[in-house]
Amino acid sequence: MKFEDEVAKVLFSEIGLIASFWALFSSDLGIFGIIDLIFLIALVALIPFTMFFDYLVLPFFTNIFGIVEIPAEGYEITKKQDAVIKYINGIYYAVGYIGASIYEYVLRREEPEENLEGRFIQGLELWERAIASIKFPIKFSIISFQRDLVAARRELEEQRDYWEYRLSKEMQATMPNAMEIDNIQRKIRVLDVKLNRMSAGEKPLGVLMYASVYACGLSKEAALKNLEVAIKEATVTLGNALDLKVSRLYGRDLKNAFLFEYVIPPSEKELDALL
């Protein structure tokens, strides 16, 4: 889904609400008017909230209205949109997904080349230890794709221009904040390193990381309870061992992870459209 498309739909829906406000203000409803006013104000806020926090909104609605989704024959997504359930041979199997972000881990480093070897060695050792300590079935997946070089470079240059502008504004201020200047300069250095690596011929690589956690039980509730425990353990283990930002996947993200178990979108464009 294109970001611009989504923003346009948010704006159209807000205009729809403006029409409702117009209708409200053209009617003299007394106490009913106040109730409608509060309700419409809440909806005005709820639309952008849905756009940014869809992983909270969808499970909220499906849970309230008791909607169970069947994404494929023999599978169902729970009302909370947090797990996929399968019933086979008298046993309920539950699969939950956690997403991992390496943003904090590598990309935010000021000088990615600094002590690169040491980090490589440590990172994989921790990975092996983490995997050995997990006592339940788990699948850790990385989807890698080559990004469009021109677009990736343009994106970085735009970011760099923005931070350059922020730096000049901060430096021209009557009371420049030294910490803020230092912070902005660090961000510019990180972007410079990325741009230099790209200039040296390194292809920009996009990476998506997630883990599938499996649990089972003789009832649906038992399977979900076991899954909850397993996911908590996996989150702590992977998060601590690999210094990753790990979070559980819900709603659309969960459905995508369920699909990625056997289909990987064959192009960056299709992957973007799904995410």
Whole-angstrom distance, CA of residue 205 vs CA of residue 267: 13
Q: Does 19 bind other proteins (CB under 8 A)?
A: yes
Contact segment (CB under 8 A) with other proteins among 88-96, 155-163, 174-182, 184-192 equals: 88-96
Q: Does 47 bind other proteins (CB under 8 A)?
A: yes
Neighbours of 238 (CB within 10 A): 23
**Minimum CB–partner distance for residue 2 and other proteins (Å):** 12
Whole-angstrom distance, CA of residue 241 vs CA of residue 167: 36
Contact segment (CB under 8 A) with other proteins among 49-57, 160-168, 176-184, 193-201 equals: 49-57
Whole-angstrom distance, CA of residue 195 vs CA of residue 209: 23
**2, 4, 26, 178: residue in contact with other proteins (rule CB under 8 A):** 26
Chain positions 175 to 214 lying near other proteins, rule: CB under 8 A, are 203, 205, 207, 214
**CA 124 from centre of chain:** 24
Handedness of CA 133, 134, 137, 138 (dihedral sign): negative
DSSP class per residue in 225-266 = HHHHHHHHHHHHHHHHHHT-EEEE--HHHHHHHHHHTT---S
For other proteins, the closer of residues 67 and 151 by Cβ is: 67
Chain positions 64 to 83 lying near other proteins, rule: CB under 8 A, are 65-76
CA atoms within 13 A on the CB side of 187: 18
Contact segment (CB under 8 A) with other proteins among 19-27, 164-172, 183-191, 237-245 equals: 19-27
Whole-angstrom distance, CA of residue 197 vs CA of residue 177: 31
Q: Does 40 bind other proteins (CB under 8 A)?
A: yes
Contact segment (CB under 8 A) with other proteins among 99-107, 115-123, 156-164, 180-188 equals: 115-123
**46, 149, 151, 236: residue in contact with other proteins (rule CB under 8 A):** 46
Chain positions 220 to 249 lying near other proteins, rule: CB under 8 A, are none
**For other proteins, how many residues bind (rule: CB under 8 A)?**
92
